[in-house]
A and B are shown apart, each in its own frame.
Chain A
Amino acid sequence: MTTEARQYTVAELEGLGKTTGLQDSLYVLRRWPLVPFFILAVLVVCALFAPWLAPHDPEADQLRAVIASPAWYPPCEDGQISNKVQSCNTNGIPLGRDEKVYTFFLGADQLGRDLLSRIIYGARISLTFASIAIAVGVVVGTTLGLVAGYYGGLVDELVMRFTDVFTALPYIIVAISIVIVLGQNFYVIILVLALASWPGIVRLVRGQTLQVRNFDYIALAYVAGASTPRIMLNHLLPAVGNTIVVAMTLQVGSTILTESILAFLGAGVPPPTPSWGADISNGREYLGSAWWVAFFPGMAIFLTVLSFNFIGDWLRDRWDPRLRQI
């Protein structure tokens, strides 16, 4: 019994390796997280150029426009407004009939402040907090991790137990307590957010350092008379650099989430400064009549965190396959 080999025509053979345009683009999308990069680019532009991009003043009340619906939302009452670009409040009264037309692309909140502008300015707050807090967390975490991993023994034990204690504390409760006691200001919030980010980095850096420390080049550096700070900064730090960058990226998403949780619970930047989490908290009161007040800031957080997590995963796969398990 023989099986006949399938005969390919030349055309078929040429077609085998070819992919359609759609497949190509899907492949590119999988290899490069273009959509997350795009979202982040928009976010960064918003944060940098908020005053020029925002259509309204994010902190200006407009009491005629309290919980006004988004401009594209179905008109309030039939026939009441012909101009679709207008917004109206929930009573069905078109806004600015008298002298001025207010347009709220994403609606307005309970004080009539433009939600789109608040989201654009909120990007500023979120990104600033996240980047500074992570920078602080990374510096502290890396230093402690390097020291613990390099010295080992008692130092290692002390640092790691200290880290364990911080991990075991109920973070949200302690964080809000600190903010309430020390006051709701920029530095306190940075401190609290940094508290969340350093223990994870200590563990990662320590783990990597423990491995790298035993490599021959470290021993050689020691024999050659390099001082301890030199070994740590010039020899150990570059070896754990990739891990740190990946851990940082993965941390951005969760820091932004934490910041929004704190803001939601009333321990964020004080009002009227726009903050995504606080805006959701405001919108909660108006769920039945104005869903957009809580919905859009939440979407902003969701998309931002999703993008950062995506990019973090992608970076980890590319740069640091050892970490894949997390």
Chain B
Amino acid sequence: MKVFIARRLVLVIIAIIASTLIVFSLSRFQGGDPRYLMLNVGYTSPEIWDAWGDRLHLDKPLVVQYFIWLWNVVSKLDFGDSIKTSQPATEMIWQFAPASLQLGACAWLFVMVTGIPIGILSAVKRGTVWDAVGRTFALFGQALPPFWLGIMLILIFAVNLDWLPAGTRGHGVEWPGRLLYYIMPTVTLGWLASATVMRMVRSSMLEVLDSEFVKLARAKGVSQTSVIWKHAFRNALIPPLTVSVLILAGFIGGTVVTETVFAWPGLGFMVYQAINNIDFPVITAAVMVATVLTVMAIFLLDVLYALVDPRIRYT
């Protein structure tokens, strides 16, 4: 077991190092000199130009630059200062993370509360109207462009019906009422993921319901409720749960589209503005946060499975 965890950890570290390489090379793409992205060439004096060069260690070879950057990141979590606001990128991450965390948690709850029951209903009542409704829910979720869904929700529920507020996070509004501000972003963010989870629940439920042990349970005279919940549901839940953990990691890492449409001050919103300002320290910090979250989620899942499921060999 220890060997297994150690092996997985090595893989995690390799994955993270590889992603730092990709991210770093991205920031050094334009002629290898990030100053062309950061400074306005025509309006910068040679002294300032050289000062930035020293600060970014541009006189050293690219490999050395990379290791200096990596060392700063690893030892001090220092991704550099934002070019736009001169604020340390790490500080910005802390500032914008709570909003993403809240929205991500809400959307994840929405995914679980809709995706799993609809999937089960669809599988148990296969071929009926319920199934058709459930599958339509999934098909729509997978085909609706999320940004368009958000805009149309705003058009219908905020502009025309005036039922839900949009455009802010409800700062200063008392708590129960503040939930209203979360409804549209949550649906926009969650529908696609919910469709994915629903389809997985449905297909794995169908598979389990078709298996021998369920047939045996039925033959013994176990009631339908008990078959569905005690026998089938528990066994069918593993694949969708795996996906849902990855979905959560993705949500928390910031979702550019939803946060941009709803002007939600989270990591996605932050990074979108950083991209438009070509603010590489902030972009790299955000990309690394999202990547590390995902990689760690995969790692935890792997270990958890190995612990729970004896059939998985420790290789």
A interface vs B, CB < 8 Å?
A: 161-162, 164-165, 167-170, 172-174, 176-178, 180-182, 253, 257, 260-261, 264-266, 277, 280-281, 283-284, 287-288, 291, 294-295, 298, 301-302, 305-306, 309-310, 324-326
Contacts and interface: CB of A to CB of B under 8 A. Distances in A.
Given A161-B15, A168-B291, A173 B22 contact: no
Interface in B252-295: 253-254, 256-257, 260-261, 268, 271-272, 275-276, 278, 283, 286-287, 290-291, 294-295
Interface in B81-129: none
Nearest to B149: A298
Nearest to A260: B145
B14 A177 contact: no
22 contacts: A161-B11, A168-B15, A168-B295, A170-B250, A170-B253, A170-B291, A173-B256, A173-B283, A181-B29, A253-B143, A261-B257, A265-B257, A280-B145, A284-B151, A287-B155, A287-B159, A291-B155, A294-B148, A294-B155, A298-B148, A305-B145, A306-B139
B148 A280 contact: yes
Q: Which of A181, A283, A294, A326 has the most CB of B within 10 A?
A: A181
B242 interface: no
A169 B279 CA distance: 18
Contacts of A326: 199, 203
A173 B159 contact: no
B152 A295 contact: yes
Q: Which 10 residue pairs spanning A and B have beta carbons closest together? A: A298-B148, A170-B290, A306-B143, A305-B143, A168-B294, A165-B18, A325-B203, A264-B147, A181-B29, A172-B256
Interface string B148-167: 10011011000100000000
Contacts of B152: 294-295, 298
A164 B15 contact: yes
Chain B binding surface SS class: helix
A301 B152 CA distance: 14
Contacts of A280: 145, 147-148, 151
A172 B239 CA distance: 25
A309 B295 CA distance: 29
Contacts of B287: 169-170, 173-174, 177
Interface of B: 11, 14-15, 18-19, 22-23, 26, 29-30, 37, 139-140, 142-148, 151-152, 154-155, 159, 199-200, 203-204, 207, 239, 250, 253-254, 256-257, 260-261, 268, 271-272, 275-276, 278, 283, 286-287, 290-291, 294-295, 298
A264 B18 contact: no
A295 B143 CA distance: 15
Contacts of A288: 159
Contacts of A164: 15, 298
Contact of B148 (A167, A181, A266, A301): A301
Nearest to B29: A181
Given A165-B15, A309-B142, A294 B151 contact: yes
Contacts of A165: 15, 18-19, 22
A95 B37 CA distance: 46
A161 B7 CA distance: 13
Contacts of B250: 170
A177 B276 CA distance: 9
Of A165, A281, A309, which is in contact with the most chain B CB atoms at under 10 Å from its CB? A165
Contacts of B14: 161
Contacts of A324: 203
Find the residue from A173, A174, A306 having the highest chain B CB count within 10 A.
A173
Given A161-B11, A173-B271, A288-B159, A257 B145 contact: yes
B256 A325 contact: no
Contacts of A181: 26, 29-30, 37, 278
Given A265-B256, A325-B207, A180 B29 contact: no
Nearest to A303: B143
A173 B290 contact: yes
Contacts of A294: 148, 151-152, 155
Contacts of A309: 139, 142-143
Given A294-B151, A325-B204, 11 more contacts: A161-B18, A165-B15, A168-B298, A173-B287, A181-B278, A280-B148, A295-B152, A295-B155, A302-B145, A305-B142, A324-B203
B154 A265 contact: no
Contacts of B298: 164, 168
Contacts of B275: 173, 176-177, 180
Contacts of A182: 29
